[in-house]
Amino acid sequence: MLDNISGKPTVKAEELPSLVLAYIGDAVYELAIRDFLVAQGLCKVNQLHRTAVKYVRAGAQARALFALEGKLSETEMAVVRRGRNAKSGTVPKGADVLEYRHATALEALIGYLYLQGQHQRLQEIIKLAIEEIT
């Protein structure tokens, strides 16, 4: 997806299915959370994992999305709506369908911003999500 030389996206994020955006967003968000936790001084892998789960589980992501909604642009809200309405077919243990759909919407937004190269906005969104969950 990234051109190794220029670092510019080679796909158009707005043309990708919402679940593909969420797939990318899940990885970006997970990495951001891990980076955040290590920066907080957590060094034991077991502790890192347990703490990371608190941030990346569907319920926490859904709460973060609700806190962000008034701070999103129309374009970002359109991506969120697409992500929320995407049907994945499965819901993980410990999450209900609505939580999972909202978590998918947040991940789709993160994936969209990442693929669009909007890294400053991406950092703002992730920072706001972390603050809401913390």
Residues with catalytic function: 26
The number of C-alpha atoms within 13 Å of 106 and in the hemisphere containing its C-beta is 31
What φ, ψ does residue 87 adopt, rounded to 5°? -110, 115
Residue recorded with tokens 């992730």:
126
Two tokens, residue 67: 């806190």
Contacts 24+ apart (CB under 8 A), 96-100: 98/62, 99/58, 99/59, 99/61, 99/62, 100/58
Do 20 and 108 form a contact (C-beta atoms < 8 A)? no
User: What is the DSSP-derived secondary structure letter of residue 5?
Assistant: T
